[in-house]
């Protein structure tokens, strides 16, 4: 196992190099000129006002951000700084990217951790129930209901939620955006702060998690159905073991493989956030930051977010591979003596 983990970690280096190199090159092919936008020129690079002054300003900005160099030299400069954990500064406001990360990541982490707890605590038991009560009325009803929810686009549900649940013309149960009130005061007590944050996060969290119920529960259901048809499950039942021990001690653990596979996508989501949810509800997290950076052609910020997401994806795949052998010892990495 240790040898396998070491090989996978060493494989991260060329994999990450290829990912960042391709992404860096593609990002430079995007239309528009960030230097022109920075100099308050047209978004398409056309100059306004005094052309001579604007061209001089744009030339200085390009030199400052190394945009006057060939793409391969820009990439070498960027990777050299990356080894020093220096992501550079944002094109938009010249602030250090790491500083902006520190501001946004806690909000995104909080939302994603809550979403994981909420979705898995509902979807996994639902999948187990559907597998152990296959074909009954509640199984069919839950399947229809969660897939009906899954078919509804997140952006549409979010928009409808704001329109009908945050509007005094209908019902004003929730705030329409942000994560805290305008009159938020740091001197408030803990419970008052908690209540304010909770009020603002209830609707975004509902919209964020409803779609995952169907996918996770179906994965759990299919894994359980495959396991409970195995010979050793029939043997455990034939020995007279209680059904709850057969299911929760013997079947559930070995049916977690599909759920563990989902971990590879959970870790990058913890950092990347949800662009749709954070944009609709004006939540200042990493998803909204990513969207703003793309619109502004903020190369440094885009590459920083992409690199962190790529690293988290590789780590997620490694963690999932390790957990496979934990839940199912029959899975081995390498040759058995």
Residues contacting residue 177 through CB under 8 Å, at least 6 positions apart: 162, 200, 281, 282, 283
Q: Are residues 263 and 140 in the same domain?
A: yes
Q: Are residues 121 and 242 in the same domain?
A: yes
Residues contacting residue 60 through CB under 8 Å, at least 6 positions apart: none
Structural domain range at position 310 = 97-152+212-327
Residue 183 lies in a domain: no
- 22-36, 127-141, 179-193, range with the lowest pLDDT: 22-36
Number of domains composing the chain:
2
Under 8 Å between Cβ of 202 and 174: yes
Q: Are residues 273 and 127 in the same domain?
A: yes
Residue 134: what pLDDT?
A: 80
Under 8 Å between Cβ of 118 and 207: no
The DSSP secondary structure of 195-235, one letter per residue, reads HHHHHHHHHHHHHHHHHHHHHHHHHHHHHHHHHHTSHHHHH
Q: Are residues 56 and 120 in the same domain?
A: no
Q: At what angle do helices 299-327 and 263-272 cross, to 10 degrees?
A: 150
Residues contacting residue 298 through CB under 8 Å, at least 6 positions apart: 34, 90, 91, 92, 292
- 31-40, 155-164, 173-182, range with the lowest pLDDT: 31-40
CB burial of 298-312 (b: ≥16 within 10 Å; e: otherwise) equals bbbbbbbbbbbbbbb
Residue 246 lies in a domain: yes
Residue 235: what pLDDT?
A: 85
Q: Are residues 74 and 222 in the same domain?
A: no
Among 52, 83, 114, where does a domain finish?
A: 83
Residue 180 lies in a domain: no
Residue 53 lies in a domain: yes
Residue 1: what pLDDT?
A: 65
CB burial of 10-28 (b: ≥16 within 10 Å; e: otherwise) equals eeeeeebeebbeeebeebe
pTM: 0.73
Q: Are residues 60 and 106 in the same domain?
A: no
Residue 194 lies in a domain: no
Q: Are residues 248 and 312 in the same domain?
A: yes
CA–CA gap between residue 82 and residue 17 (Å, rounded):
12
Among 55, 83, 111, where does a domain finish?
A: 83
Q: Are residues 284 and 137 in the same domain?
A: yes
Which residue did the predictor score with more confidence, 29 or 280?
A: 280
Q: Are residues 31 and 125 in the same domain?
A: no
For residue 173, give both structure tokens.
């149960």
Residue 292: what pLDDT?
A: 83
SS3 of residue 166 by DSSP:
strand
Residue 296: what pLDDT?
A: 76
Residue 181 lies in a domain: no
For residue 57, give both structure tokens.
């300003």
* Nearest by Cα to 22 from 215, 223, 294, 310: 310
Among 26, 49, 83, where does a domain finish?
A: 83
Under 8 Å between Cβ of 30 and 299: no
Count CA atoms within 13 Å of residue 253 on its CB side. Answer: 13
Q: Are residues 70 and 40 in the same domain?
A: yes
Q: Are residues 144 and 291 in the same domain?
A: yes
Residue 290 lies in a domain: yes
Q: What is the pLDDT of residues 16-47, one digit of tens each?
A: 888 888 877 777 776 666 666 666 544 344 44
Residue 42: what pLDDT?
A: 42
Q: Are residues 106 and 79 in the same domain?
A: no
Residue 47: what pLDDT?
A: 43
Residue 337 lies in a domain: no
Residues contacting residue 95 through CB under 8 Å, at least 6 positions apart: 89
CATH number at residue 252: 1.10.3720
């Amino acid at each position: 196992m240790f040898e396998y983990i070491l090989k996978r970690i060493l494989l991260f280096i060329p994999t990450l190099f290829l990912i960042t190199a391709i992404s860096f090159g593609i990002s430079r092919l995007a239309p528009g000129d960030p230097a022109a936008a920075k100099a308050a020129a047209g978004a398409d690079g056309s100059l306004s006002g005094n052309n001579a002054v604007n061209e001089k300003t744009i030339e200085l900005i390009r030199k400052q951000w190394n945009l006057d160099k060939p793409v391969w030299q820009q990439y070498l400069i960027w990777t050299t700084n990356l080894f020093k954990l220096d992501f550079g500064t944002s094109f938009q406001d010249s602030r250090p990217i790491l500083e902006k990360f520190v501001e946004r990541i806690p909000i995104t982490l909080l939302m994603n951790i809550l979403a994981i707890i909420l979705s898995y605590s509902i979807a996994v038991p639902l999948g187990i129930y559907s597998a152990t009560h296959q074909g009954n009325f509640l199984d069919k009803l839950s399947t229809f209901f969660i897939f009906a929810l899954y078919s509804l686009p997140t952006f549409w549900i979010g928009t409808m939620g704001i329109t009908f649940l945050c509007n005094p013309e209908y019902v004003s149960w929730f705030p329409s955006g942000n994560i805290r009130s305008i009159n938020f005061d740091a001197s408030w007590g803990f419970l008052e702060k908690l209540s304010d944050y909770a009020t603002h996060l209830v609707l975004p969290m509902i919209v964020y998690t409803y779609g995952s119920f169907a996918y996770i529960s179906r994965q759990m259901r299919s894994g359980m159905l495959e396991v409970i048809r195995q010979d050793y499950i029939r043997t455990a039942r034939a020995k007279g073991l209680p059904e709850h021990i057969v299911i929760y001690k013997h079947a559930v653990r070995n049916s977690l493989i599909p759920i563990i596979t989902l971990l590879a996508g959970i870790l990058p989501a913890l950092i990347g956030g949800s662009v749709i949810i954070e944009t609709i509800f004006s939540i200042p997290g990493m998803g909204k930051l990513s969207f703003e950076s793309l619109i502004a052609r903020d190369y440094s910020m885009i590459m920083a977010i992409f690199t962190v997401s790529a690293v988290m994806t590789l780590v997620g795949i490694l963690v999932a591979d390790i957990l496979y052998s934990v839940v199912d010892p029959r899975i081995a990495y390498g040759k058995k003596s």
